[in-house]
Amino acid sequence: MGLRNSLNIQVENYKMFLENSLNAKEQFGWIEVICGSMFSGKTEELIRRLKRSQFANQKIAIFKPSIDLRYEDEMIISHDHNQIQSTSVPAAANIPILADGCDVVGIDEAQFFDNEIIQVCNHLANSGIRVIVAGLDMDYQGNPFGPMPALMATAEYVTKVHAICTRTGNLAHYSFRTSSDQNLVHLGEKESYEPLSRAAFYKAKQKSKKKTKKDNESSGVCNVFEFISTGPN
């Protein structure tokens, strides 16, 4: 059996395991985290799991941070244009009230929520709700992103999905920002981000640092010439 077939079987078994029924005597829920880089299929997998629950006539509620304005306010839409109805909320504290009476709660772009999302997810799970969370595990600099590390630590199940590196063809788990914006939160698609492997990400960061250093040195030289030509104020 080839490695790819073996991995596919393991993944399918893992997905089936996530949907085991609850012990009737202990009505506790659980937390599932789907994480990875940009273009890795996080939202696609979130939608897949939620639609299975819908088909089973389970009551679901889906939330996303109102800061994410890339698509429609009342829809979660994947890069492949699969979609499911959702509710935009300004803060994690809004979720428990709106999720009252649900069997399953889905949360997309969890990295953009405040740290209260950790407590909210655990509260929902302790109330017997299945909580499915999707989000970027690392920011554009390759650092752990917002509340995601704590969500991954407290979740029963963590699925890390991968994109394909645009430069090497290997598995990619970094989101390299191709724009010059250095803000931590920068909403964008293919025009702003590129999925890279570890090796490609390291090389791209080194190249970016050299360019920044060169630009700063050039700027310093220009400032010196300007000072000489105009003199001190």
Residue 3 counted as domain residue:
no
10 band by pLDDT with thresholds 50, 70 and 90: very low
Lowest mean pLDDT among 36-40, 55-59, 72-76: 72-76
Digit-coded pLDDT (tens) for 196-210: 999 999 999 998 888
The tally of domains found in the chain comes to: 1
When pLDDT is averaged across residues 60-72 and rounded to a whole number, the result is 82
Residue 9 counted as domain residue:
no
Q: How many residues does the chain have?
A: 233
**Residues marked as catalytic:** 109
Lowest mean pLDDT among 17-31, 88-102, 112-126: 17-31
Nearest to 132 by CA among 162, 169, 157: 157
Distances 16 to 9, 12, 157 between C-alpha atoms, Å: 11, 6, 12
- pLDDT, position 208: 81
Residue 166 counted as domain residue:
yes
Phi, psi angles (nearest 5°) of residue 208: -65, -40
Digit-coded pLDDT (tens) for 136-174: 999 999 999 999 999 999 999 999 999 999 999 999 999
Distances 26 to 38, 56, 120 between C-alpha atoms, Å: 37, 21, 20
Residue 14 counted as domain residue:
no
Q: Does residue 232 have a pLDDT over 60? A: no
Residue 144 counted as domain residue:
yes
When pLDDT is averaged across residues 37-45 and rounded to a whole number, the result is 94
Q: Residue 41 maps to which CATH number?
A: 3.40.50.300
211 band by pLDDT with thresholds 50, 70 and 90: confident
**Domain residues for 88?**
23-230
Residue 2 counted as domain residue:
no
